[in-house]
Amino acid sequence: MKIAPSILSADFSKLGEEIAGVLDAGAEIVHVDVMDGHFVPNITIGVPVVKSLASSVKAPLDVHLMIENPEKYVPEFAKALASADGRDLKQDYIVVHAEACEDLSNCLQLIKSKGVRAGFSVKPGTPIEQYEQVLPLADLVLIMTVEPGFGGQKFMEDMMSKIEWLVGRRDTSGGKLAYEIEVDGGVNEETAGVARKAGADILVAGSYVFGAEDRRGAVESLK
C-alpha cells in the first residue's frame, strides 16, 4: 500500500516543509489536486506550483486534473514536470477525469507520449465499466469515494465495488492490464481498511495526514 497525502490540506505558507514532513513520515507519493472552478466548484493551483514541486520534491508527483478540457492543458503540466533537471518522469502521474475528456483514449495516449504515467478518474456517479476498453492504456485508475472538489466529505463505501471490478479485470487479464488502483476521498484509519480489503494499491489522504499531530502514526495506520 502506498500513501499519497494531498497537498490540498497542507499549510501553503510552508508547503515545502509540509511535504518534506509527510514524506519523512513514510508517505511515498505527493498528490496534487488541480481544480479549475468549472469541472468542480473550487479553484486550487496550476502549472507554476507543479513546476516548483517538480524541482523541489524528489518523490513521485500525482497530478490530479479536476478540470475541463484536460487535453488542452496536459502538455503544459507535462512540461512543468519535465522542467526539473534529472527528474524521472516515469515516476510521475497525470490523472484526468474521464467525464471531462472529449476522447479519453486520446487523452491517455497524449499523457503517455510525454513520458509520464497516465491515469484516469471517475466520479462516484460514473460507472467504471463503461471505460473497460481504455484500461490497457491506463497506468493508474483513480476511484473517487467523495464528490470531487472539496475535502472533509464522508467516504462512500459503496464505491468499493468499482475497485473489486478493477481488481478482477486486472487479475484475469493475463498480464495485459497493469494499472494501479487509487482511492481518493474520506480516507482515514477506518476507511483505509475497507479500501485495502477491496484491493486498492494507493490511498490519497488529506486532512487525516496533514492534520495529524503524529504524522508518522497516521501514515502507518493507513497501511
Does the pLDDT value for residue 152 go beyond 90? no
In this prediction, residues 79-95 reach a mean pLDDT of: 96
192 phi/psi in degrees, rounded to 5:
-60, -40
Query: Do 22 and 210 touch, CB atoms closer than 8 A?
Result: yes
Nearest partner of 182 among 161, 203, 197, 167, judged by Cα: 203
Helices (H), the chain: 15-24, 47-56, 70-82, 104-113, 160-171, 189-198, 207-210, 215-222
Tell me which of 202 and 150 has the higher pLDDT: 202
What is the enclosing helix (H) or strand (E) of 64? strand 61-66
- CB neighbours of residue 14 within 10 Å: 11
The set of cell numbers assigned to 149 is 472538489
Q: In what order do the strands lie in the sheet with 202-205?
A: 2-5, 202-205, 180-184, 140-144, 117-122, 93-97, 61-66, 30-35
Residues taking part in catalysis: 33, 184
pLDDT (tens digit per residue) in 115-146: 999 999 999 999 999 999 999 999 999 999 99
pLDDT (tens digit per residue) in 15-45: 999 999 999 999 999 999 999 999 998 899 9
In this prediction, residues 73-88 reach a mean pLDDT of: 96
Q: What is the pTM of this model?
A: 0.95
Q: What is the pLDDT of residue 151?
A: 62
Domain 2-222, second-level architecture: Alpha-Beta Barrel (3.20)
CA 21 from chain centre, in angstroms, equals 19
Question: Which whole-number Å values give the CA distances from 129 to 19, 147, 167, 184, in the listed order?
Answer: 35, 19, 12, 19
d(CA 29, CA 202): 9
Mean pLDDT over each residue of the chain, to the nearest integer:
96
Looking at the chain, the whole-number percentage of residues with pLDDT higher than 70 is: 99
